[in-house]
Amino acid sequence: MDIYSGHINKLIEQLSRLPGVGAKSAQRLAFHIINMPQEEVEKLTRTMLDAKANIRYCKECFTLTDKDLCPICANQARDHKTIMVVEHTRDMAAYEKTGKYEGVYHVLHGAISPMLGIGPGDLKIKELILRLEKDVDEVIIATNSSLEGETTAMYLSRLIKPTGIKVTRIASGVPVGGDLEYIDEVTLLRALEGRTQL
């Protein structure tokens, strides 16, 4: 037996499809939205539609942005000769919170995972190799310390080393199996400063 009417159930169902939102959270969000003033609901809806319509990949690093180049790639004060390779935009944001990294990034949008059917061709690896044709001194591989992250790091290392570009890996201050987006800034900074050459 349904407790709520069809529209409420539909809203709860749609919200529960969002990552990290369980049934109870979806229910709380649904009732919050229902109780919001009409103008705020319309503003929220417009903001989500505008984001969906205008956000795209940065032409340089492939993070999400609403311009051709993200603010980091467009910043000439950054060290464009040092590229940190991360799995997701969230990981890039985690390193930016440290305030200590001066280089630029490259977002792969995942990691190699044969079990999930994700191979090198499914990631932004080809685009990274094209970037390395420019003046690059170092590539820092900052993939997660999971099996998939380590596999991706080794694959990239083997691909990049023959070019003569220095390849380093973040230190193991990041726990094995940990996702970068959930790790505190101090641990991320120690991992960055303790990176080793591959």
Region 4-23: what's the mean pLDDT?
89
Domain check: are 132 and 84 in the same one?
yes
Total domain count, the chain: 2
Give the integer Cα–Cα distance in Å for 44 and 51: 11
Better-scored residue on pLDDT, 175 or 97: 97
Mean pLDDT for all residues in the chain: 90
Structural domain contains residue 19: yes
Residue 186: per-residue pLDDT: 63
- Same domain as 47, residue 116: no
State the residue range of the domain holding 101: 64-197
Residues 34 and 104 in one domain: no
Residue 1 belongs to a domain? no
Same domain, 49 and 69: no
pLDDT (tens digit per residue) in 108-136: 999 999 899 999 999 999 999 999 999 99
- Asked whether residue 75 falls in the same domain as residue 122, the answer is yes
- Residue 65 clears pLDDT 50, i.e. is over it: yes
CATH code for the domain in which residue 163 is found:
3.40.1360.10
Same domain flag for 41 and 114: no
d(CA 152, CA 121): 12
Amino acid, single-letter form, for residue 150: E
Q: Kindly state whether residues 40 and 91 are assigned to the same domain.
A: no
Domain assignment of residue 156, yes or no: yes
Instruction: Let me know whether 114 and 136 are in one domain.
Output: yes
Whether 59 is in a domain gets the answer no
Q: What are the b/e assignments for 134-163, b being 16+ CB within 10 Å? A: eebebbbbbbbbbebbbebbebbbebbeee
14 shares its domain with 76 = no
Q: Does 190 lie in the same domain as 159?
A: yes
Which of residues 190 and 13 earns the better pLDDT score?
Answer: 13
Three-state secondary structure readout of the chain: CCCCCHHHHHHHHHHHCCCCCCHHHHHHHHHHHHHCCHHHHHHHHHHHHHHHHHCEECCCCCCEECCCCCHHHHCCCCEEEEEEEECCHHHHHHHHCCCCCCEEEEECCCCCEHHHCECHHHCCHHHHHHHCCCCCCEEEECCCCCHHHHHHHHHHHHHHHHHCCEEEECCCCCCCCCCHHHCCHHHHHHHHHCCEEC
Threshold 0.85, pTM exceeds: no
